[in-house]
Structure 1
Amino acid sequence: MSGSNRSVFTRRLLDDCGALITDGHFVYASGEHGPGWIAKDIINTVPSRPRDLGAMLAEAVAEAGIEADVVCGPAVGGVICAQYTALAMGIECIFAERHREDGRETFRLNRGYDVAVSGRRVLVVDDVINTGHSTGLVLDAVRAAGASICGVATWINRGNVGHRELGVDRFIFLDEIELPSIPAAECHLCRNGVPVNTDYAHGAEFVSSQK
């Protein structure tokens, strides 16, 4: 399948299952706000969807000439995407876990995964990349384990980052959907009293912190 056909398939899948939301008020992992969200959990309720997207992502990675030994995805949301991509690529898969240290969020490779990837080529895979904040933390964890990064791949690039912002040479995505990201202090949605969505993203934590 060509890159343009992969993009069309991905967008149709999002539309058909109602995963693309463009008229809300969301708080992203970076702390920034915006009106859009891709409800990836809806995608994952039907296993054939992430299976098909994972197969297409593996195809795009192969076409780009990227060679990897291991796929790593962020827990919890990126694990399904990473697993199906690794399955289609015929390679191993691990995941990085969130950890808070001195009030700062990081990711770690636990369960012996740090040893498993040391000296190997790792492809970091996530379902949706918004600002690149979480992806950057996963990349840090993989590098800290002594692995080399051969690229980043995602179903959806939300249009706020490229390979330079991520600090990698290769960035592969099936579709690009531009959804604006706004610093919290400048958020017009907040000023206009638009309620924060607490079902998706980090809205519930943000609302709780404002009490």
Structure 2
Amino acid sequence: MHKHQAVEPDSDHVEKEQIFTTLSNQRRRWVLHFLQHHEEDRVQLRTLVDVLSEWEYERPADELSWKERKRVYTALRQSHLPKLASSGAIEYDRTRGEVELTDDAREFQLYLEYTPVDDVHWNQWYLWLTGIAAVIVGLAWLSVPPFANLSGMALATVLLGMFSTIAIVHTYTTRRNRIAASGGPP
């Protein structure tokens, strides 16, 4: 007969679970995103409602109905802000209607960026590109046609073009895949 032993949870695991649970809602992710990119430390609840309403309904706040804004306000005040506060990501002064990031919010930021399953493995692309560049340089050095006629400047231009192109694509892809891309809703 097997006896089951109680396993005590790992404190890191519990913390990660709390972070994942907190970040499981888009409005909570949007609150963190806005606070992280906002210039002032403290933000009024009214400002959060306006911004999140705009993001959610994809229209300027002044074009939204009272009911649409109220829906966001109620969800933030009763559910999302208290949950963010209890997880330690924000300080929420309910009486003043003020919200502020805590120092622990940095822990949440790590989980706001992700790599999709179908994302490109950039280290492999750069390795392949380096190999191709080495072959081109070797062929030019050995005077193998058509690389024999490349001047040093032409060779440098080709290599610079290759690496610049992949760097631009890498930068674009990384920005597109970020949940918390600055300048708009995550």
TM-score (norm 1): 0.21
Q: Which has the higher strand share?
A: 1
From the CA coordinates, give the structure whose radius of gyration is larger: 2
TM-score (norm 2): 0.23
